[in-house]
């Protein structure tokens, strides 16, 4: 059983869990982070952001095109206190809402904006398109194990400057769940918020139930570029929550020791939290992370590795320390196929993050060191995610579960298959969907001997063709289409 956190206000963690840090170690991480923010500071490449920090009492030193901001402890502590403690991710319908209160973990697809995909028909790698994102989103909408929908591919066939706006149009038309995506600057952020208001039913409805969260990515080490700052400020002022996700590489853009990665990453996340609260106090904030190592022998950034797993667990635990909702990387693989390595990589990183209590784990479908998206990896990963969550339930020791009277009734040498208790409980046992539990003869008869990946590709095709999304009203979809088209014409001049 996982420990119960000793700090006041934390949700108790029941079932199977991973401790990782003591309370004293978490305090040490926080203290070290405060020192980095106060003494080293953060590079800010936005004049508007610099003015916000300066006005709040930070020490700002300006240079040509940027400033170094040194942040006093009280600003950091105030920002942590002002962010909402529970993540409420609103869908277009109340039944699609996801809340992070209690011990809740879920999954989502993609590992950022994949630029390549294994085509469902040809099984060849090609660049991603807007239709790919729509199809992947539709599959995510169909899955209970996925509670929020992350942008899992880029609209590579659209105007580069407006890709993020096209991404959101593809997503909001194919899911009623809450969407996460990168806004890529203030101008795009304003357009995405405009679209979200239409999809939500209007300004008032959107302010009461914002249906989108903006990803921002502080650059390691300790930098927020102009685009990142603009996205934070525009999102916060527009009523949209922020998800901050640094992506440092240990040994390249962050220290070669994992403890050093943890402190630097935490400083980068907290600096974006502070800016979000300066722009609008009370802005919802999601603590994120997907840092890994730089493999200096191969000059690659692998993701299906022990360091990725333990760092994702660290982000979950630090988020719990700050009483913030969290989304962390896992599930992804360095394999080029949906094969055994993919399964091993997935289980290593996803299980570790889940046991640490991460609220959301992203990476379903991510292979090829997250460059490529694969439908079979997504479908099989989702089923493995269900198995992980089932494992995390642990064992209830209530009287109803220990059933001493039933054991006494069956007695030595008895049986349980005919008992009412078995009939009532059998449906709560884990069930297989694509993973095969049949004997060989039944497997051959039912599937013709197809392997798991082939069956997963077929399932993906079926979901794309048959799953019915809670559709936007035609007038709203048309208005969104007009906004996107007008924006493209504006950008083309």
Are the CB atoms for 135 and 44 separated by under 8 Å?
Answer: no
Residue 4 has pLDDT above 80, yes or no: no
Q: Does 361 share its domain with 468? A: yes
Residue 15 has pLDDT above 70, yes or no: no
Instruction: Give the per-residue pLDDT at 9.
Output: 30
Nearest to 385 by CA among 356, 349, 337: 349
pTM: 0.93
Structural domain ending residue among the three candidates 383, 412, 428: 428
Q: Does 365 share its domain with 419? A: no
Lowest mean pLDDT among 235-239, 297-301, 326-330: 297-301
Contacts for 33 with CB less than 8 Å, ≥ 6 apart: 76, 263, 266, 267, 270
Burial of residue 338 (CB within 10 Å: 0-12, 13-18, 19+) is buried
Q: Which residues of 444-459 are buried (b: 16+ CB within 10 A; e: fewer)?
A: eeebeeeebbebbbbb
Task: Give the chain's mean pLDDT.
Answer: 94
Q: Does 407 share its domain with 448? A: no
Q: Does 408 share its domain with 266? A: no
User: pLDDT tier at 285 (50, 70, 90 boundaries)?
Assistant: very high
Q: Which two tokens stand for residue 359?
A: 């609220």
Instruction: Give the per-residue pLDDT at 493.
Output: 83
Residue 118 has pLDDT above 60, yes or no: yes
Lowest mean pLDDT among 14-28, 103-117, 226-240, 327-341: 14-28
Residue 13 has pLDDT above 80, yes or no: no
Supply the range of the domain harboring residue 404: 399-428
Q: Does 35 share its domain with 72? A: yes
Nearest to 245 by CA among 407, 412, 92, 363: 363
Helix (H) or strand (E) holding 150: strand 148-150
Q: What is the CATH number of the domain that holds 465?
A: 3.20.20.480
User: pLDDT tier at 112 (50, 70, 90 boundaries)?
Assistant: confident
> Phi and psi at residue 416, in whole multiples of 5°?
-125, -5
* 232-279 pLDDT tens trace: 999 999 999 999 999 999 999 999 999 999 999 999 999 999 999 999
Nearest to 268 by CA among 244, 286, 252, 291: 244
Q: Does 404 share its domain with 438? A: no
Instruction: Give the per-residue pLDDT at 6.
Output: 33
442 Cα distance to chain centroid: 38
Structural domain ending residue among the three candidates 383, 409, 428: 428
Q: Does 329 share its domain with 449? A: yes
Contacts for 168 with CB less than 8 Å, ≥ 6 apart: 151, 179, 181, 192, 195, 196, 212
Residue 7 has pLDDT above 80, yes or no: no
Q: Does 408 share its domain with 333? A: no
CA distance 198 to 260: 44
Alpha-carbon dihedral sign for residues 188, 189, 190, 195: positive
Q: Does 2 share its domain with 90? A: yes
* 374-390 pLDDT tens trace: 999 999 999 999 999 99
Q: Does 325 share its domain with 421? A: no
DSSP classification of residue 39? I
Lowest mean pLDDT among 70-74, 274-278, 324-328, 386-390: 386-390
Q: How far apart are the first and last CA of the chain?
A: 61
Instruction: Give the per-residue pLDDT at 393.
Output: 85
Task: State the helix-helix crossing angle for 186-200 and 474-492, rounded to 10 degrees.
Answer: 160
* 436-467 pLDDT tens trace: 999 999 999 988 999 999 999 999 999 999 99
Nearest to 324 by CA among 26, 49, 3: 26
How many alpha carbons fall within 13 Å on the CB side of residue 490? Answer: 11
Q: Does 299 share its domain with 415? A: no
Q: Does 411 share its domain with 289? A: no
Number of domains the chain is built from: 2
Contacts for 396 with CB less than 8 Å, ≥ 6 apart: none
Instruction: Give the per-residue pLDDT at 203.
Output: 96
Nearest to 247 by CA among 215, 284, 285, 275: 215
The pLDDT of 137-146, averaged and rounded, is 97
CA distance 53 to 78: 13
């Amino acid at each position: 059983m996982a420990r119960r956190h000793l700090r006041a206000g934390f949700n108790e963690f029941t079932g199977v869990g991973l401790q990782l840090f003591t309370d004293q170690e978490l305090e040490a991480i926080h203290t070290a982070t405060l020192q980095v923010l106060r003494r080293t500071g953060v590079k800010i490449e936005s004049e508007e952001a610099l003015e916000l920090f300066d006005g709040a009492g930070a020490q700002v030193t300006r240079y040509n095109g940027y400033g170094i901001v040194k942040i006093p402890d009280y600003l950091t502590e105030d920002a942590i206190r002002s962010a909402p403690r529970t993540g409420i991710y609103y869908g277009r319908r109340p039944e699609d809402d996801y809340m992070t209160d209690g011990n809740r973990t879920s999954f989502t697809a993609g590992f950022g904006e994949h630029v390549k995909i294994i085509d469902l028909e040809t099984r060849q790698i090609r660049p991603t398109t807007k239709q790919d994102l729509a199809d992947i989103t539709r599959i995510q909408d169909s899955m209970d194990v996925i509670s929020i929908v992350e942008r899992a591919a880029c609209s590579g066939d659209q105007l580069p400057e407006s890709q993020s706006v096209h991404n959101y149009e593809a997503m909001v038309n194919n899911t009623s769940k809450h969407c996460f995506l990168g806004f890529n600057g203030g101008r795009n952020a304003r357009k995405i918020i405009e679209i979200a208001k239409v999809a939500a039913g209007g300004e008032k409805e959107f302010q009461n139930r914002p249906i989108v969260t903006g990803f921002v990515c502080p650059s390691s080490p300790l930098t927020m570029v102009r685009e990142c700052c603009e996205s934070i400020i525009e999102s916060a002022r527009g009523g949209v929550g922020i998800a901050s996700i640094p992506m440092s590489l240990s040994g390249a853009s962050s220290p070669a020791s994992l403890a050093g990665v943890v402190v630097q990453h935490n400083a980068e996340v907290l600096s974006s939290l502070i800016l979000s609260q300066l722009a609008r106090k009370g802005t919802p904030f999601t603590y994120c992370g997907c840092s890994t190592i730089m493999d200096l022998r191969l000059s690659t950034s692998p993701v299906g590795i022990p360091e990725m797993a333990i760092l994702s667990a660290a982000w979950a635990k630090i988020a719990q320390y700050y009483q913030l909702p969290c989304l962390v990387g896992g599930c992804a693989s360095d394999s080029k196929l949906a094969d055994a390595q993919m399964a091993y990589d997935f289980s290593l990183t996803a299980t570790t993050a889940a046991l640490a209590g991460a609220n959301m784990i992203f990476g379903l479908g991510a292979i090829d060191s997250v460059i490529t998206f694969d439908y079979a990896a997504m479908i099989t990963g989702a089923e493995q995610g269900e198995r992980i969550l089932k494992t995390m339930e642990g064992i209830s020791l209530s009287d109803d579960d220990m059933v001493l009277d039933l054991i006494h009734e069956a007695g030595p040498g008895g049986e349980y298959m005919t008992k009412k208790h078995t009939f009532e409980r059998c449906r709560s046992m884990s069930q297989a969907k694509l993973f095969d539990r049949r004997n060989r003869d039944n497997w051959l008869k039912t599937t013709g001997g197809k392997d798991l990946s082939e069956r997963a590709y077929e399932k993906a095709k079926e979901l794309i063709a048959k799953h019915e999304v809670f559709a936007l009203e035609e007038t709203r979809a048309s208005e969104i289409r007009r906004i996107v088209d007008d924006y493209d014409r504006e950008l083309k001049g």
